[in-house]
Structure 1
Amino acid sequence: MSGGRAGSTWNRRCAHLLDLARRHRRPAVALRLTTDLETCLERNAVRSPDRRVPDQVLRWQYALALEATTETLFAEGFTAVLSPTPTDAPASTEAVPDIRFVCVTWPDGQHA
């Protein structure tokens, strides 16, 4: 798997989920969200304190997102990579992939 994620908890969890998708003949779809870091930090700042994410965590996740290029994600085993924008929103849920797993990991390796 790619760069900074090699050997991490995220890597192992992701590899497990990709393996499950392959074994069950299901697509493994990666969503690349392209919101810029400043917008993420601004939105986070107005969240209630119990929902706010530490800025260093957002910066860490953003750096991981930059590493996760379309090419890298395909190389890791994803069968499709989507980079939705607000104008890509489907008119109905029929166009939305059947997503069963989402994995977010904090810098200390704990899953959120």
Structure 2
Amino acid sequence: EDERAEEVLARLLSVPRMEDVQLLATRVGERALARVFNLLLKTDPEKGVKVAALLLEALSPVTAMRFTHDCFDLSLPLLPVDVRRKLLSGLRPEVVKHLDAAQREVNGAAVRRARQTRIELQVF
């Protein structure tokens, strides 16, 4: 598992432009990225937080938010609470605000979908 995370991390760090990190992240998947964040924080807690924060900032707000916040649609969090706290502490305050806003929007949409589904089932 750590070997795979190291491989994914090497691929992420070799991307020439930060804009391409998001594309590569979609290819490797959320679970692989979660392992990378765990590896970074385990290997070097101080620098790992900084590198992980840069990687999170390169992702779309909705994708990054799924690593740092609880989601209505997500039954199990991608990362443990202590890892999420460390990642959030490494982010710039304005990025944290964007992630909070993304969480509110995503969770609001999920609640609306759940309500609509429940209404449709009751009518049926």
Normalised to the residue count of structure 1, the TM-score between the two structures is: 0.27
Please state which structure has a larger fraction of its residues in strand: 1
Higher RCO (C-alpha under 8 Å, 6+ residues apart)? 1
Please state which structure has a larger fraction of its residues in helix: 2
Normalised to the residue count of structure 2, the TM-score between the two structures is: 0.25
Larger Rg: 2
